[in-house]
Structure 1
């Protein structure tokens, strides 16, 4: 599934206005935060840590209006700790967003 520009990019553009440097800075901040939260999810082994990490991912997604990431975070919330499919889907989202 390829990354689709949409509400996330629109949210970043609205926040940055006509400032391309700010837009780029916001993208970097999102990628860094997502990378950190994904690392926490990847290392979570108990139900509590997994749930907290997935909820933080969902919160990050909501704050940037990243609808696809919100769906992926919801899917992770509903899975068992360490679910490789959930982690892989979020990693794919991150890779595609960072490359776009």
Structure 2
């Protein structure tokens, strides 16, 4: 799965216009929210909490047109709570969004 932030960047640009500070603020808000959901995924010990965190992450990703993150959240929905492989993949994608 190749990392692409183009759709996220376009969504942020559409919301922020030419305001670079606002675009940076929106990106930070997206990343912080995604990290909160990742934290909930990491701490989930039952199916219900895992599913809620994955669905929230998927909704956030969809709202910002972050397709790769949405796909990984969907993958998490079919995994057992705490599945380390999907958690690591989600964390890596969020870190890449934060670095851009």
Q: Aligning the two structures, in what range does the TM-score lie when normalised by the shorter sequence?
A: over 0.9
Unaligned stretches of 5+ in structure 1? Answer: none
Q: Which residue is equivalent to 2:60?
A: 60
The aligned runs of 1:1-100 (5 Å cut-off) are 3-100=3-100
CA contact (8 A) 1:3 1:97 kept: no
The count of aligned residue pairs is 100
Unaligned stretches of 5+ in structure 2? Answer: none
Q: CA RMSD in A?
A: 1.1
Normalised to the residue count of structure 1, the TM-score between the two structures is: 0.95
The farther-off stretch of 83-92 and 5-14 is: 5-14
Give the 4+ runs in structure 1 shifted more than 3 A: none
CA contact (8 A) 1:42 1:87 kept: yes
